[in-house]
Structure 1
């Protein structure tokens, strides 16, 4: 009995620093966001007026906030789906096929994840440039000489898709490496048995590879949601600043604008509270929907 008590004390002693840090830097700030969302406050002054849920009532009537919600949801859905498809397919090709220069392609695909968001945003801003950008130069080959080019970052109807394309390019390599790690642990004899039974490579992919890495896919889907919300702010801030006319505004960029640019800190924290609840609920729903019995080998 004495040994068990000493063991418990030792375990709690080891866990204490992590628990304290998590509580101080995660739990308390999160609770403080909800507290400040109930205030009318500029962020710098000492005057704090308690307004209850009034910030939230105003928020859900704010069309700019609703548009930022729509953009954020669009980013999460498209970035998650497209990145997932390309990352899994590329991982399967590099893992299962004998590709010449396999290690070279692994490095090339992973490079975007090493670069900072500012560098990537600057590169794609240059690519999207309507006058001298690479993309417009390629499209211009099939257009008349007086063609002015597409304003990818200046057209309200397509600017958010330009940001999404940049985010997908940045994310594919990271998740591809994660899926490759899972695929490389699948025993070769499973594929050999399936091949002897007449299954082609596509059937092997859907019947063996995909089910056996499904646990990894479920985990990365949560990463997609969190990273899309966080990174979308950085990409939007550098590439468009939320423009033109708020067409590329997302959750966190709108929060930043309200809390710091407009000095309505309480209102900005109300947006932060919504973002927290949205992220938590969406992650829980995705995990519930994708839940299935684990396959073992």
Structure 2
């Protein structure tokens, strides 16, 4: 009787979550896969089954999609490497060094994470503004003969300008997370390393990083996948894919095709590629970053 009551209680607790997850996650995902096989404008009553034609067009002749794929991979690579590198260094300095006002720096670095992406985009759009922006003003202070740089209007550098905003937004959050992990590393290990003559950099790579690697690995996987969503928000708010599609990313191109160009089926085909790419990338990251856990 008790086992039945316990089972009923567990079922009642889990049922609402399972139902909501199914309705709002599983069913829409299945529908994305289903609609990728149709040619449909999204608003008309008629739709045509085209099989894999949307995917053939996607990979054979759509240069805008290939450019959005390249931009997405570039953003993920640059933003991830820079964000995690700076976050780990700052976390190590604030955790290990005798820095006054540590709590103040934690708050200051964390503030960008609680700001809206729209606000951050507006701040960086003002910084990147060609004529009166702060960045060009600093450059012209040292070289008055230099022409203004169009940070958001130059095809070659626009994606790196967006990467800068994404890095600024994410550093504080991961720095605080790594500081919490580093607090659990025994101080005796560092004391032993000091007695052996190991320097700060050697201690960082031989003690700190290995002992918090499981946390780094988890946050890295989470961040890389979330970067796909964040890139869409930043691109939409800062450049809307311009100039001439130079800053287009996966999701902004999918949105444009599905809801602006009335090619809903084609947009869903892009969605399937994004879904598959995200899962494959997370699997690769987990496989590459796997290490045997270190026990203290």
- State whether TM-score is above 0.5: yes
RMSD between aligned alpha carbons? 1.1
Counterparts of residues 1-297 of structure 1 (less than 5 Å): 2-61=1-60, 62-145=62-145, 147-297=146-296
CA–CA distance in structure 2, aligned partners of residues 227 and 38 of structure 1: 27
- SS of 2:99's equivalent in the other structure is coil
The offset of 1:197, in angstroms, is: 2.4
Query: Which runs of 5 or more structure 1 residues have no equivalent in the other structure?
Result: none
The offset of 1:7, in angstroms, is: 2.6
The Cα offsets for residues 174-218 of structure 1, whole Å up to 9 and x where unpaired, read as: 111111111111121221222222222222111111011100111
* Paired residues, number: 295
- SS of 2:295's equivalent in the other structure is coil
- SS of 1:141's equivalent in the other structure is helix
CA–CA distance in structure 2, aligned partners of residues 9 and 203 of structure 1: 55
CA–CA distance in structure 2, aligned partners of residues 99 and 246 of structure 1: 45
**Superposed structure 1 runs of 4+ greater than 4 Å apart:** none
CA–CA distance in structure 1, aligned partners of residues 292 and 5 of structure 2: 38
- SS of 2:142's equivalent in the other structure is coil
Contact 1:131-1:148 within 8 A present in 2 as well: no
The offset of 1:225, in angstroms, is: 1.4
CA–CA distance in structure 1, aligned partners of residues 143 and 196 of structure 2: 52
The offset of 1:88, in angstroms, is: 0.5
**TM-score of the aligned structures, taking structure 1 as reference length:** 0.97
The offset of 1:267, in angstroms, is: 0.3
CA–CA distance in structure 2, aligned partners of residues 7 and 105 of structure 1: 48
Contact 1:95-1:183 within 8 A present in 2 as well: yes
Contact 1:113-1:173 within 8 A present in 2 as well: yes
**TM-score of the aligned structures, taking structure 2 as reference length:** 0.97
CA–CA distance in structure 2, aligned partners of residues 141 and 114 of structure 1: 33
Contact 1:130-1:148 within 8 A present in 2 as well: no
- SS of 2:268's equivalent in the other structure is helix
CA–CA distance in structure 1, aligned partners of residues 208 and 4 of structure 2: 45
Contact 1:38-1:54 within 8 A present in 2 as well: yes
The Cα offsets for residues 118-144 of structure 1, whole Å up to 9 and x where unpaired, read as: 000000000001100000001111223
